[in-house]
Copies of this chain bind each other. A is one copy, B any other.
Amino acid sequence: MKISDLGEFGLIDRIVKTASYNTKRAPIGIGDDAAALLLSPSATLLATTDMLIEGVHFDLMTTDLYSLGWKAAAVNLSDIAAMGGVPRFCLTALGIPSSMTVEQVDEFYRGFANCVRKYGTVLVGGDTCSSRKGLIISVTVLGEAEKKHAITRSGARPGDLLYVTGTLGNSGAGLEILKNRIGGRVQGPGKTRNSMTGKLIDRHLRPIPRVEWGRRLATARVASAMIDVSDGLSSDLGHLCAQSAVGAKVFAERIPLSMDLTSAKGLKQPPVGYALSGGEDYELLFTVPPGKIKKLKTMSIVATEIGIITRQRAVRLIDERGHGRPLTATGYDHFRSRRRRRPVR
């Protein structure tokens, strides 16, 4: 059978059947942002790993190595943030092509180290090897959470309100600008920080893992379920709803978009299209029981209420006239033949 017939998430289900089994020592296994592992009765270890392959996840024509190092760290820290954990340690495995110089490896690790240090995390080990073709990066981050505080994707209940931090879509639009070189020559984030397109590009190249917000949402017991927006709102909300066995209504006009995105010129899609299917924003998408809303509002976390969790398991997008349509996953699937994009509106 072709893997493209199963898709990424079908393949993961199959791997779980073949290779994983239930154990009390791993109360959260495959399928959440990070695994939660019991080492002692009180402490839970969080563990997550992500692989980035040149030509699949990144292109050295559209990123500098410092930013790539930063991002390789940030996307993993974001998974720990989405569990409400504290990232502690990380390991890197690098497959390095012969075309790369020592100085380029230095730049990668400068970016990586600056990101992990900013979030209180330490590089403690790894592996380096040669790659025949292209740079290959695999990062593992280990974190901690008290057992009672780890937030899964499966805790959303009908009536919970749906929130997202920051704004969505900047990263997807930034990538399009980088690819199409809208606005002239491609430049690193430092050189473009004053322009609006520069801010979109910045967000794509150097995403901000919401470590502190995730932790505070967890310790204050405000969020009932949480996931980070890595594949796009449509896909990640789909994961959260599927694992919570619920549905959701999302109000299109409430989806937070930055001024930089709404005023950007020459983009192929309307701004909300990047929010729904662009991915790589690494904001936190979380649900809050109605009784906890008051508390959330005192926490100075930048978050917008965008919808509500429903008992009916469909995920629907409601437009400004109150008309709904199914919100199907339009984010990236590694093994489907094409990105299943559809125009929004």
Residue ranges of A at the interface with B (Cβ–Cβ < 8 Å): 1-6, 8, 11-12, 14-15, 18-21, 23, 25-26, 29-30, 34-35, 37, 39-40, 43, 45, 47-51, 53, 55-57, 88-89, 91-96, 98, 100-103, 105-106, 109-110, 112-113, 116-117, 122-134, 136, 138, 140, 142, 144, 334-335
Offer 14 A-B interface pairs, CB within 8 angstroms, sorted by A. A1-B103, A5-B102, A14-B106, A15-B105, A19-B113, A21-B122, A23-B122, A37-B124, A39-B40, A47-B89, A49-B92, A56-B132, A95-B136, A133-B133
Known: A47-B142, A51-B93, A112-B19. A2 touches B128 (CB 8 A): no
Question: Is the CB–CB distance between A101 and B30 below 8 Å?
Answer: no
Question: Is the CB–CB distance between B122 and A49 below 8 Å?
Answer: no
Measured between beta carbons, the chain B residues less than 8 angstroms from A29 are 122-125
Contact among B95, B103, B113 for A53, CB-based, below 8 A: B95
Question: Is the CB–CB distance between A122 and B26 below 8 Å?
Answer: yes
- Separation in Å of the A121 CB from the closest CB of chain B? 10
Question: Is the CB–CB distance between B129 and A334 below 8 Å?
Answer: yes
Dominant secondary structure at the A interface: mixed
Question: Is the CB–CB distance between B19 and A129 below 8 Å?
Answer: no
Task: Across the A-B interface, give the 7 residue pairs with the lowest CB-CB distance, nearest first.
Answer: A138-B138, A35-B125, A19-B113, A51-B93, A35-B124, A19-B109, A1-B102
Question: Is the CB–CB distance between A105 and B51 below 8 Å?
Answer: no
Measured between beta carbons, the chain B residues less than 8 angstroms from A93 are 49-51, 138
Contact among B92, B129, B132 for A134, CB-based, below 8 A: B132
Extra A-B contacts (4), CB below 8 Å, given A39-B45, A49-B127: A2-B102, A26-B89, A49-B93, A96-B335
Residue of chain B at shortest CB distance from A130: B334
A113 to B29, CA, bound (A): 15
Question: Is the CB–CB distance between B103 and A20 below 8 Å?
Answer: no
A1 to B129, CA, bound (A): 17
A2 to B100, CA, bound (A): 8
- Separation in Å of the A139 CB from the closest CB of chain B? 9
A85 to B55, CA, bound (A): 38
Contact among B2, B19, B56 for A123, CB-based, below 8 A: B19
